[in-house]
Amino acid sequence: MIVKGNIAYELSRPVDLYYFWYARLIAQRLASALLRFLPILVVAFLLPEPYRFGLPSDFIHFLLFLLTLILGLILIIAITMIIYISMFHTLNETGSLLLFSVLGDFFAGLTIPVPLMPYPLKVLAYILPFRYTSDLPFRIYAGNITINEGCLSIGVQLIWIILLIYFGRLWLKKSLKKVVIQGG
């Protein structure tokens, strides 16, 4: 959108551009996730016993899982918005996408599970926001995280969400003042 010049159309809309893009990204993520996970979930529950997908140990863990999963979605979209806004300055999404996807996947525990990371990397994973997008919800679901630690982590998720949305809105506002329309 930014690279092709379609940002001009976006700027002509009488909406808050940050929240408009935010809502669009959430809709895209939810639509693709719902289409993928429902068939997999059905199959996972039908597998024989040692491979069957089980439910959390108690209802509180399930509620914490749902809450952290929703907050994780909100957080990953806030991170994605930072990537979008960075494209105002780089005019090429390749570098930003590559940097955030490699760092994000690693520190979210998608390459090496966070509990198995060396101590310095584990500390960094707990500080950065990426862990709170996928590692936290699924470790709560599996029962690897206590309810107290889960509640504390929800607070950290909320802090990251507030910081990233505030920083993203501020950066977008400054970037829109200097926007250069490319292409189209």
What's the CA dihedral at 60, 65, 66, 70 to 10 degrees?
140
pLDDT tens readout for residues 39-70: 888 888 888 888 888 888 889 999 999 999 99
Q: What pLDDT sits at residue 170?
A: 95
Q: Which 8-state DSSP code applies to residue 72?
A: H
Output 135 or 177, whichever has higher pLDDT: 135
- Would you state the structure tokens that stand for residue 104, as one six-digit string? 């994000």
SS3 content of the chain, % helix, strand, coil (to 5): 75, 0, 25
How long, in residues, is the chain?
Answer: 184
pTM of the shown model? 0.86
pLDDT tens readout for residues 140-172: 998 899 999 999 999 999 999 999 999 999 999
pLDDT tens readout for residues 96-120: 788 888 989 999 999 999 999 999 9
